[in-house]
A and B are shown apart, each in its own frame.
Chain A
């Protein structure tokens, strides 16, 4: 263990309170060779009030991080959002990433999968296997995870609107290799409301989407203790042009909708909240992005304690996954995006994230190649292992600038959340198109600022280099994937016990008409070789479809 702190007052107590967690921290040395402490903080008698507003790492309100030892205890989970083509090509890419030190996998699904279409549906054809992996049935999940140590790795399923179906297909595939839901560690992007706000991958009207989020929360609380079933997402909104304030405020407004619903359904806040996490986006203004993360954690802790009356301290702790790279990666001189990724990565680390997805520098062109995926992973590793951003818990804590930004961002987010409450909550704000229009206006403002040079982007509006984007060696799409998926579906439909499949689909339909939890019914369908599209269609008959409000 590192040297004892020089400060009097709170710090020795903090150290005692977390002795167990701090016992295993790694030694880090300063540039002059001295042992570095885990935490640096003012002596208690100098700044007694600062502890009240920012607290200490691992303690309410978690401004300074969710764990006492932060990265001295463990680094964040380094994952790349990855998946393309079919189950085999995705399996091969995942193996490559795991061999290079990726902790687990973060599955990207193709657009047809995200909106619940089978690969042989006419609307699906141009998109099969393009921006993610094509999956139609339980067999795809069996092949995709074949040979991977599923019990030892984090698995995140980025399924969005189709999350309940994807979870069911995945669990059915795991069951076929004797892996029970309780053995699975990972997370899922079940946050369906953000699909209406930004992602455009909606299916049913929001009320039904929320019901199924409740089903997932309830199912996972009892069956999947090591799984984070709900990641509240901001990055999609940021990609659509939201400001960082809108990002956090709208994501939290959506979270409130789920939590209010879960409470009304009788779910225990302490069980639900402790397994909820958030995901935010990180641009190059890394000090303010770090402040945003600190502000979000503090606001969240307060919300869970006061609005929901959570009793366990851990319920109010918000784990954050960072998304780095996407819309702020440029097509001109794309290699420079490696630096933009590094700055975003720093913001996420200085903000104290628990997981990170960093995009390839060719993100603006296509999904990453093996090379660009490797560089994205190396970026995280270099920041994690070579830099001192990870040397002490919350190294920015106490910076006048960062603390003031943290306060200001928290206040602005709170105001925007109150605005949504006044409108009647996030569902009303989505159905009326309010959130979408607010974000579109910000996107327009941002584009104007970037085109005028008010917001400098090197190589694009400042020190212009390339006038036209280069032709990169991009990921080569697999032209045969659509055909292979279609013949698999044909085979599946001819081999399966049709009576059993229909019986299971009918059972899902009846359950949807009532109030039963739908997840077990979906798992039943998956085992009976029903396809994703068939399950989604059955519920579409019952729930109807979302209509996009006008711009």
Chain B
């Protein structure tokens, strides 16, 4: 494409790591943010208690490549759905891949993928494989 997309390709991958809703378990999100930063990825960590609207707005404003959600309250299906709907409402569904991490059963992981979530990271997902998986998604998009 144009000159603009080349700049996009050359800049470091940028992701948002977000906590949605009331769930205060931020250990996983912070560990993931740390691991991604160590791997040279730019991370915007939102802190707690965001709405899907906040997260999608920040993602678009900051031009992130991937939206990462961390949910440990068990409400992952509902919260992922809200983010996908918000992306759709902003005309960005399919533009920015959404990934999710947390205590998620195999059944729910399959449901999440059907809903349009691009990748699901379970408990104990190897930290060193996180960045490559995220970068692979970005490559597909670019």
Contact = CB atoms under 8 A, between A and B. Distances in A.
Is the pairing of A and B real? yes
- For the complex of A and B, 3 pairs with smallest distance between CB atoms: A200-B24, A111-B22, A548-B47
A444 B34 contact: yes
Interface stretch (B5-13, B70-78, B83-91): B70-78
A551 interface: yes
A331 interface: yes
A12 to B, nearest CB: 51
A199 B19 CA distance: 13
A548 B25 CA distance: 14
Interface in A285-309: none
Contact of A115 (B22, B31, B73, B75): B22
B132 interface: no
Contact of B103 (A195, A241, A331, A477): A331
Given A112-B22, A469-B106, A440 B123 contact: no
B21 A448 contact: no
Contact of A201 (B24, B75, B124): B24
Nearest to B105: A471
Contact of A240 (B27, B78, B124): B27
Nearest to A236: B24
A239 B27 contact: yes
Contact of B22 (A127, A331, A444, A451): A127
B22 to A, nearest CB: 4
Interface string A202-239: 00000000000000000000000000000000000001
A36 interface: no
Interface of A: 111-112, 114-115, 117, 123-124, 126-127, 130-131, 195, 199-201, 239-241, 327, 331-332, 364-366, 440-441, 443-444, 447-448, 450-451, 460, 468-469, 471, 477, 548, 550-551
Contacts of A127: 21-23, 73, 75
B51 to A, nearest CB: 7
Interface of B: 19, 21-27, 30-31, 33-35, 45, 47-49, 51, 73-75, 78-79, 103, 105-107, 122-124, 126-128
B105 to A, nearest CB: 5
A331 B31 contact: no
Given A131-B73, A364-B123, A451-B127, A111 B48 contact: no
A477 B126 contact: no
Nearest to B71: A126
Contacts of A131: 73-74
A460 B127 contact: no
Contacts of B122: 331, 468-469
B30 A440 contact: yes
Contacts of B74: 130-131, 366, 477
Given A126-B75, A451-B126, A460-B124, A471 B26 contact: no
Contact of B34 (A200, A440, A451): A440
Given A111-B22, A127-B22, A241-B27, A471 B123 contact: no
Given A199-B24, A364-B123, A130 B73 contact: yes
Contacts of B33: 551
A468 B125 CA distance: 11
A448 B31 CA distance: 10
A440 B31 CA distance: 7
Chief secondary structure at chain A's binding surface: loop
Contacts of A443: 27, 30-31
A550 B17 CA distance: 13
A25 B11 CA distance: 72
A538 B39 CA distance: 46
A200 B25 CA distance: 7
B106 A471 contact: yes
A367 to B, nearest CB: 9
A412 to B, nearest CB: 22
Nearest to A446: B31
Nearest to A131: B73
B73 A200 contact: no
B30 A365 contact: no
A193 to B, nearest CB: 14
Nearest to B108: A471
A447 B127 CA distance: 8
A131 B124 CA distance: 22
24 contacts: A115-B22, A117-B22, A123-B51, A126-B21, A130-B73, A199-B24, A200-B19, A200-B26, A201-B24, A241-B27, A241-B30, A327-B27, A331-B103, A440-B27, A440-B34, A444-B30, A444-B31, A444-B35, A451-B127, A451-B128, A468-B106, A477-B74, A550-B47, A551-B45
Nearest to B75: A126
Given A123-B21, A239-B27, A469 B73 contact: no
A131 B45 CA distance: 25
Interface centre among A111, A117, A126, A460 (most CB of B within 10 A): A126
A551 B103 CA distance: 23
B22 A123 contact: yes
B36 to A, nearest CB: 11
Contact of A331 (B19, B23, B78, B123): B123
Nearest to A457: B124
A490 B126 CA distance: 48
Nearest to B123: A331
Contact of A469 (B22, B25, B30, B105): B105
B48 A548 contact: yes
Nearest to B107: A471
A550 B43 CA distance: 12
B79 A126 contact: yes
Contact of B124 (A117, A441, A451): A451
Given A111-B22, A127-B21, A200-B23, 11 more contacts: A123-B22, A123-B51, A124-B22, A127-B73, A200-B19, A200-B25, A332-B124, A444-B34, A469-B122, A471-B105, A551-B45
A366 B103 CA distance: 9
A119 to B, nearest CB: 12
Contacts of B79: 126
B29 to A, nearest CB: 9
A115 B74 CA distance: 17
Nearest to A199: B24
A477 B108 CA distance: 15
